[in-house]
Amino acid sequence: MHYLAARFDERTDPAAYFAGAASVICVGMNYHVRLGEGDAGESSVRGRIARYALGADYHEVVKDRLHALADWLRETAGGRTRAAVDTAPVMEKDLAARAGVGWVGKNTCVINEGIGSWLLLGEILTTLPLPADEPAVDRCGTCRRCLDACPTHAITAPYQLDARKCISYLTIEHRGEIEPALQAQMGDWL
C-alpha cells in the first residue's frame, strides 16, 4: 500500500487536494445487508465475501449520491465542489470523526453510535465556508471485542492496525502468495 505515502500534502490538507476548499461535508452510508440462507442443493464448498463488496461497486453508488448532493449545494448556495470516496487522497476517517459521523474505534474503523461500523464514507469538498459540527465522542471505553475477534490479529493494539495482516487487504490489494499461517487464520474469506 505504498500509495498511502504519496500525495501526503493532499491527504493532510483538503485545500491542497482541492484549491480553495473551505469546508468538507462528510457522509456515511450504511452498507449492512441481511444475508440469506444458501440453497441446500449448492456445493458444500463456500467462501464468504465482505458485505460492502456485495452488489454494485460502492465507489460508484456513493459517488453518484455525492454528485447529486454537490449539484444541489452548488444550485442552492453556490461555490465549487469536489466529491471524494476512499480512492481520493483524503483522510476520510479523521474527517468523519471530526464532523461527528462517528468515532474512530479501536478497530480503526469509523463507528456510528446507531449504525456501528457498517459505514461507507464519502466527502464533498467545497469552497463554501460552512459551520462545523461537533466531533464524535469515542465510546469504545474498555471494550476490546474487536481486538479479541480479529482472526489474523491485524489489530495489534487499540487504534493500531497492521494492514499486511488484514483480511480486507489480503483479499483485495495483496498480490502474490499469502503466507500459510495467515491463510489458515483467514478461514473462508475470499
Give Cα 60 distance to the centre of its chain.
Answer: 14
Work out the average pLDDT over 152-166. 96
> What does the pLDDT look like over 48-93, one tens digit per residue?
888 888 889 999 999 999 999 999 999 999 999 999 998 898 999 9
Report the DSSP pairing between strands 103-104 and 81-84: unpaired
Q: How many whole angstroms separate alpha carbon 68 and alpha carbon 74? A: 10
pLDDT of residue 48: 86
* Angle, CA 31 vertex, CA 176 and CA 148 arms, to 5°: 65
**Residue 167 within a domain:** yes
Domain boundary among 132, 157, 179: 132
> What does the pLDDT look like over 19-53, one tens digit per residue?
999 999 999 999 998 877 554 445 556 788 888 88
Active-site residue flag, 86: yes
Q: How many whole angstroms separate alpha carbon 80 and alpha carbon 85? A: 17
Where do the DSSP E strands lie in 21-172?
A: 23-30, 81-84, 103-104, 110-111, 119-126, 155-157, 160-161
Q: What is the pTM of this model?
A: 0.88
Q: Which residue matches cell numbers 478497530?
A: 107
Task: Look over the chain and give the mean of its residue pLDDT values, rounded to a whole number.
Answer: 91
Listed in sequence order, the DSSP H helices in 2-51 are 8-12, 14-17
Among candidate residues 39, 86, 94, 162, the one labeled active-site is 86
pLDDT of residue 39: 44
Structural domain that includes position 61: 1-33+51-132
128 lies in the same domain as 148: no
Domain boundary among 99, 132, 165: 132
167 lies in the same domain as 92: no
pLDDT of residue 40: 46
Q: How confident is the model at residue 190 (pLDDT cuts 50, 70, 90)?
A: confident
Domain boundary among 132, 151, 181: 132
Q: How many domains does the chain have?
A: 2
